[in-house]
Amino acid sequence: MPQKNAAKKALRQSLKHATRNQKIQTELKMTLKKSRQFIDAKKDGVKTKVADTIKLLDKAVKKGIIKKNTAARKKSRLMQRLHAAAKASDAKTSQA
C-alpha cells in the first residue's frame, strides 16, 4: 500500500480510470458485436447502428482508451462488411 498522500491519490485515480476504461471497452465490444450481427441479419436500422458504433469508437480514441489506428481499422472493417452486405442484397433484388 502507498505511504504518501500523493501515492494514495494516484492509486485512487488509477482505480477510477481503470473501471471507467473497462466499462467503455466492454460497451465498445458489445456494440461492435451487435453491429456485425445487424449487418449479417440485414435488419432495419443498420446504418444508424453502424453510425453509433463509429461514434463510440471515436469517443474511445478521444479518451485514450484505444489507439487511433485500432479505431480506424475497426471502422474500416465494419464499413467493408456493411458495403458487402448492401452489394449482396442489391444483387439479389436485381436478379429477382
Is the pTM higher than 0.85? no
Q: What is the 3-state secondary structure (H, E, C) of 72-84?
A: HHHHHHHHHHHHH
What per-residue confidence (pLDDT) applies to 63?
93
Residue 73's domain spans which residues?
A: 5-95
**% of the chain residues with pLDDT over 70:** 98
DSSP 3-state assignment of 10?
helix
Backbone angles phi, psi at 43, to 5 degrees: -80, 165
> Letter for the amino acid at 24?
I
Q: What is the CATH number of the domain that holds 81?
A: 1.20.58.110
88 against 82, higher pLDDT: 82
Total domain count for the chain? Answer: 1
What per-residue confidence (pLDDT) applies to 48?
93
Decide if pLDDT at 90 tops 80: no
Q: How confident is residue 96, by pLDDT bands cut at 50, 70 and 90? A: low
Decide if pLDDT at 94 tops 80: no
Average pLDDT over residues 43-51: 91
- Copy the grid coordinates of residue 31: 456494440
**% of the chain residues with pLDDT over 90:** 80
Decide if pLDDT at 70 tops 70: yes
